[in-house]
Structure 1
Amino acid sequence: MHLPNSDRPLSNPDDDKYGFVELSSRLAGPIVHATTGEGLVVGIEGQWGVGKTTLLEFLDHTLRHAKIEGLRTITLAPWLQGDRVGLSTELLAKLGEALDAENKETQKKAKQKEFKETIGRYAILAGRGSAAVLDVAGDLLPGGSMAKRATKLATDALESVIGGGTLLELKAAIRKRIADSGLRFVVVIDDLDRLEPTQAAEVVRVVRSVADFPRVVYVLSYDRDVLAHALEQSLGVKDGARYLQKVVQLSLPMPAFEPFDLRLQLREELLSLYGEFEGASSNKVVQEDLERAIDSAGAFLNTPREVTLVTNAVRFAWHASRLDTYYPDVCRVQIYKIVRRDLYDWLEGYLGVRSILVTNAGRISAVERARFGTKLYEVLPDDDTSSNSIYTLSGIVPGLSRDENAEKRVFGGSTAREVNAMIDRKRLGSPIHSRAYFAFAIPKTVMSDRDWNAFLHAAGSDRNELERLILYYAETQRPVGGSWLRHVLDRMDDSAIERMSFAQLKGVLLAFANVMDDILRLGRPWIPFLGSDEQRAASIAWAILRRLRSGDPEGVGVVLSEALENGRAINWLVGEFIRTELFARGEAGDGGHISNDPVLANDEINRARSTLGIRIEEVVSDGNVLDLPKPSRFLWGWRDLKGEEAVRAWVATVIQEDLAFVRLLSELRGTVFSDREYRVLKEDNVSAFMNFEEAAERIRALVSVEDTAISLQAREVQDAIDLARSF
């Protein structure tokens, strides 16, 4: 199980899947008939991987099992031999052996020895003294071992060893012997297109001139274009294909496969492979998706070898990544890798960047967008629904469109539901799983399914573990920047919340109510266009309550009361969580942010106000307000819950001390972004709590005091006031 196909040529007719056995049977008759004449050279032509060697294997099998009287089959593999002229010697040796075996009973030993010497002399003269020829001739000719040592001697010295007889005289003697023997020969020479140019030219010379004997049919296999180019290089001819016509009297191009043959075979192989791994046949959805992938990407298949290569690639990839991928998409990607490498490379780059964009781990410039869009048009140029258009990726790769503007062809928007559907099924378009299709691992910028599932499990069953995980992710940086908590929060969109159990939803809300102040203390920056972690957590918390309202209405009041009464993160509860609902009701800030989509009824918000009001008084009475993380948030929430008068009264008391005054103004600074992040202090930041002009004047005075604990902070506040005028 799970072992790859070695891609060896087939030799057992029972393994034939493409009709090669029948084709070889039909070719055998004419080839055998041609052995009765003066000789013939047949060329089996086809690109690499199309099945030429398998066809020759079956042809050899057919001829040998036909047991035709007087027919001998000789198979040569010059590509394996790797010698420039050894082919002529090997061929002549095998011819000699066959003739010798046929006549050993009817001829005297002297005659046999004489013909053996004739073959040996001819081999040496045809090879012109090559060491390789002499090596073989040493077994054919007396004195051959001496000839080996004479490699560098002149031809006349060589002839002193082999004796008389010109090349033509020796060849004529061999031709006569073959004609008189009654034997016929089929000589199969495979893989000419794999030879070096000089080797290919030598094979052609042997077939055309050295061994053009009667009653001998040569069956050569090669890629016509490759062999023609090799002849052009080695012989210096302008047109290798025309030169090849002088050698090959009958060319037989490998027939095209019947429509869908390769796709049907690939489908059978991939379904069988799925069963090997999963221990059962594929379900209907997987089978339908696989058929769509093969119908689309499989249109690019050209040879049986490609079917084998794809099957092997899928076997390896699925074995390595099956926990993080979807089988039909793995098959699609591996088909592209084998037969459409340009499209494979584009997909790897595009999906890698898209994963970063969707998970808010980075951005991409307009120039880069245009580059991806331009390349997409190059790899999939068609406008119709063919396999060569972007429509073949519809529903598989998100964000693509057929737009005239290259920048707008790619990285288009997707709904949260679409993205989460791909994540759930581990599809190729999932920002969490796309990298696993190319690198057998999830991206370093996203959380693995294992870790995500552990987070959800803790949410439903282990509050302490959940809080530990939240804090751990808040403190741990992602490779692309930002915390892993931000990634977790981004994944918890409406679609994810819809799929979580009520126990998990309650667990997350109560964990936020306990740990968000600890996260505030980490001082994570506010992210442009995305907001802060605490803001995102508040948004998620209210989405959770909205979901509970529709599915577990009685549980809403219970979990909300527990969070407000016992949650340790009082700053977040007052400054972020409840303010989100107050803004939705138009009861926070200036009242101009009404969303008309509040979660709580009037009586519920009143109870929330009362509960948090009591807790605010406890914090104030303990004198811990300025020790809270980001206390300005607490002050704004306090103002919206209890009114401005109470907050201003507390502020007036606290700021009587200069150090508390500068600390408070420092905390009230806001943030603006331009070429970088700036901290500014505007009147709007201050006026709800004290008179801005009076505060500014006091700061200017404190800049010069001797107490550096005060003066240094005062300088920062003064700079923030000055900087605010620029924005």
Structure 2
Amino acid sequence: MTTDEETITDEPLVDASEDQLHRGHIVRLLVDQVEFACREAPSSVIALTGAWGAGKTSILNIAKAKLRENSSFKLVDFAPWLFSDLASLVAGFFESVKGALPGRKFEGTRAKLSKYSSAAAPLGKVPALVGGPDVSAAIKGLGDLLADTSSLEKKRNSIESDLRKIDHKVIIFIDDLDRLHPEELLLVFKLIRSIARFPNVYYVLSFDEHTILDLLSATDLARQDRPRASAYIEKIVQAKVQIPPLHEEHHEDLFLKGIQSIVKRTGQEISQTEVSDLYYVTRRYLSPWLGTPRSIRKLFTEVRQSWASLAGEVNFHDNFLISFLRIYEPALYNSLSELKSRLTGASFWDFSIKVEPADQANFWKAQLFNYDVPEVRSSNILGVLGKLFSSAAEAETGVKHQRIVKDLTHEKRIESPACFDRYFQLTIPPGDVSDKLVIDGIRGYLGGDSGNVAARRLELELHSNPRVCVPKIHMVIDQVSGGNPLRLIENLSSIHGAIEDDRQFLQGSTADEIEQVVGDLLMRTSADQIEVLLDGVVTPKNSLLLVNLATRLKRSKEEIDWLPLLHAKLEPVLEAEVDKIGALPVESIDREEFRKFLRWGQLYGTEKAKIKAQNFVQIGNWSMRGYLGQLVGERTVYGSSGNVKLVGERSLHDLEEFLDVEFAITQLDGQIGQPMVDLSSLTERPSNQENREAYGLALLATVKGS
């Protein structure tokens, strides 16, 4: 099925061939009613009713085209809502009638209509005629009009005599009556009912009956009595054609055409599964808002606009539903943007937030109430929210939902902290990185052109915003195939060696993520290319990254064909790096740099590491106390105000992996104090060289004391 831009515009149709909802039977009903009235009655009023956006104007246009095929019909349009006051509305009405009587033949009749119009125009200023409160002024106004020797009645009789002789039927179409103010509406009805009910003149009105009843109820005629307002309409209208609700097939057809229009506009394919799932959600939850062609097209126009700027950067399903909320529940939509921490799980540390399903239900119930969601539709809106946020799903179902942030980010869901702001900014917000930029940059690197514009932009983002950029590389790397990853690995390695530990609770650090990315790049390299790649990758500059990766892979116990080759190529490079470290005062060595020594020992033997360390101590390069402080670990205490590193709790067994205890006690003779009863007090101290040394000495004191 093909589709054009027009399929989701709100322009009314002008031709039956454009009718995609197959409403020809409604057009036929309306035309039949008009033709019947013209045959059987001297004058009549016919109404086409339907909800706002149901397609009334389109049906009128197609019906007019059918009626114009009959040369005995003269069609005229009158738009009462174009006039600024009631008097000009009356004058405009009669100008429309005159327009149906062209040529010299009707010159006299048009002149009579002009005089009649002039005499009737003051009626637009008479309050009682339009439901106003000033009855005495109304009576006086009517008296003034009727006192004229050439009364309205005489003028009217003369016009009626002329119109009975005309050889065609005048059909006046009045669309959008529900746009009028109450007093304007009442005046139009009085014109049709009394003042201009001429022979051979027929009226076709179009309005939303619910709105018309509201308007009439606001006048003194009905005085908030809707049955009285309805009875008044029945007096005015002799025949009614009602546009039925959209059929299920029409809903589906408009939905699919909207999807196709979006695909055509953006060039982004949407899977059949995704379309089916979204249609189910639309029919289950969105139906109360999408009962007319206009409402459906309005939604798709909004979705198309946002998807045009965010395609490939957000999840289509979530963009569709959040677009719905933006249009039909704007107050609630705006409030969501202020709840990022809660909705994305970033408020983990706020223990005032209760997260059981019952608590979530209370929270969302209050949100819907506070932002004026009608109670009758609150379950629908909660269902929509439940498709976006797990907390709302828990409120709806009463069952806990598991959130996996990595999966949410990979799927670009709104619940991902990395993607949330995009749905409200409708662009890539400051501090974020476009997924497209990352993919294009990776392609530039893998193509061997690190000078490529996209690759250069990615490099800048990597160095300025690694916390955001590296996870994105990890997320999209599988979408880019082939090429040589050497330059990308080198760039990642330079960041790996410079970045501070930014580990977060239940999440790894950026350095961890870089190691995983490099592992993925090596894993996907073909067997005949891996040795060439490793020859380029294994360098002193990349040694910390590679030794961490090799240790990670060794712990995983995963069988990897090229891992022994990596170990072999890395060993001499890493041992040379260890010897460089050994030439420095151990207290001054950066913790990350010292990790090369530890990883080297874990990969190639801790006994070798012990011997190497003892040698550094014996030749005077390292102090035993400083080495001990480097061996003591540290722990991170996570909090909403930031992370704090404290001295890590270690056992003697942990230290013995890299430490000959007897050798250490001998070297530290005189520095080891009495055994401490409670070592844990030292683990509350900040992690620095001095405090770690104190912990190590206290641990050795327990051995010496025993």
Same-fold status (TM-score > 0.5): yes
Amino acid at match of 2:192: V
Tell me how far 1:46 sits from its aligned partner: 0.7
CA 1:607/1:319 → structure 2, altered by over 3 Å: closer, same or farther? closer
CA 1:498/1:398 → structure 2, altered by over 3 Å: closer, same or farther? farther
Matched, 1:476 2:455: no
CA 1:228/1:419 → structure 2, altered by over 3 Å: closer, same or farther? same
Q: 2-side partners of 1:572 and 1:269: how far apart? A: 49
Could you report, residue by residue, the CA deviation over 1:358-378 in whole angstroms, capped at 9, with x for unpaired residues? xx9998986579687775998
Matched, 1:11 2:2: no
Q: 2-side partners of 1:467 and 1:439: how far apart? A: 26
Contact 2:45 2:204 in 1 (8 A): yes
Amino acid at match of 2:610: E
Tell me how far 1:458 sits from its aligned partner: 1.8
Matched, 1:568 2:541: yes
Amino acid at match of 1:677: V
Tell me how far 1:539 sits from its aligned partner: 4.8
Q: Give 3-state SS (helix, strand or coil) of 1:74's partner.
A: strand
Find the partner of 1:650 among 604, 616, 623: 616
Q: Give 3-state SS (helix, strand or coil) of 2:69's partner.
A: helix
Amino acid at match of 1:16: D
Tell me how far 1:232 sits from its aligned partner: 1.3
Moved more, 27-36 or 663-672: 663-672
Tell me how far 1:10 sits from its aligned partner: 2.7
Find the partner of 1:222 among 180, 190, 207: 207
1:705 paired residue number: none
Find the partner of 2:598 among 636, 650, 659: 636
Q: Give 3-state SS (helix, strand or coil) of 1:202's partner.
A: helix
Q: Give 3-state SS (helix, strand or coil) of 2:86's partner.
A: coil
Q: 1-side partners of 2:517 and 2:62: how far apart? A: 68
Matched, 1:58 2:62: yes
Amino acid at match of 1:34: A
Counterparts of 1:146-545 in structure 2, within 5 Å, are: 163-168=148-153, 170-179=155-164, 184-235=169-220, 236-239=223-226, 240-265=229-254, 267-268=256-257, 271=260, 274-275=263-264, 290=275, 293=278, 297=282, 300=287, 301-310=290-299, 312-313=301-302, 316-317=305-306, 319-322=308-311, 324=313, 332=320, 336=324, 345=333, 367=354, 375=364, 412-413=403-404, 420=410, 422=411, 439-442=425-428, 444-459=431-446, 461=448, 475-477=463-465, 483-484=466-467, 487-489=469-471, 491-492=473-474, 496=477, 500-501=481-482, 503-504=484-485, 515=494, 518-519=497-498, 522-542=499-519
Q: 1-side partners of 2:360 and 2:396: how far apart? A: 11
Name structure 1 gaps, 5 residues minimum: 134-150, 478-482, 585-594, 701-711
Tell me how far 1:77 sits from its aligned partner: 0.8
Contact 1:225 1:241 in 2 (8 A): no
Amino acid at match of 1:31: V
Could you report, residue by residue, the CA deviation over 1:326-373 in whole angstroms, capped at 9, with x for unpaired residues? 8x759955984698658994998699779967xx99989865796877
How many residues of Structure 1 are paired with residues of Structure 2 in the alignment? 638
CA 1:200/1:7 → structure 2, altered by over 3 Å: closer, same or farther? same
Contact 1:46 1:52 in 2 (8 A): yes
Amino acid at match of 1:263: E
CA 1:459/1:209 → structure 2, altered by over 3 Å: closer, same or farther? same
Moved more, 714-723 or 305-314: 714-723
Amino acid at match of 1:567: P
Q: 1-side partners of 2:690 and 2:183: how far apart? A: 84
2:636 paired residue number: 672
Find the partner of 2:91 among 83, 89, 92: 89
Amino acid at match of 2:31: A
Q: 1-side partners of 2:306 and 2:320: how far apart? A: 12
Could you report, residue by residue, the CA deviation over 1:268-311 in whole angstroms, capped at 9, with x for unpaired residues? 46546745775xxx98x756755665576378443232454355
2:684 paired residue number: none
Q: 2-side partners of 1:560 and 1:540: how far apart? A: 15
Matched, 1:580 2:565: no
CA 1:621/1:563 → structure 2, altered by over 3 Å: closer, same or farther? same
1:618 paired residue number: 579
TM-score norm. by structure 2 comes to 0.69
Q: 2-side partners of 1:276 and 1:472: how far apart? A: 31
TM-score norm. by structure 1 comes to 0.68
Contact 1:313 1:334 in 2 (8 A): no
CA 1:196/1:614 → structure 2, altered by over 3 Å: closer, same or farther? same
Tell me how far 1:220 sits from its aligned partner: 1.3
Contact 2:578 2:597 in 1 (8 A): no
Counterparts of 1:74-153 in structure 2, within 5 Å, are: 74-95=76-97, 115=112, 119-120=116-117, 122-124=119-121, 126-128=123-125
Q: 2-side partners of 1:682 and 1:156: how far apart? A: 100
Q: 2-side partners of 1:121 and 1:193: how far apart? A: 26
Q: 2-side partners of 1:128 and 1:471: how far apart? A: 74
2:703 paired residue number: none
CA 1:99/1:332 → structure 2, altered by over 3 Å: closer, same or farther? closer
Contact 2:632 2:695 in 1 (8 A): no
2:43 paired residue number: 39
Amino acid at match of 2:504: I
Q: 2-side partners of 1:524 and 1:578: how far apart? A: 19
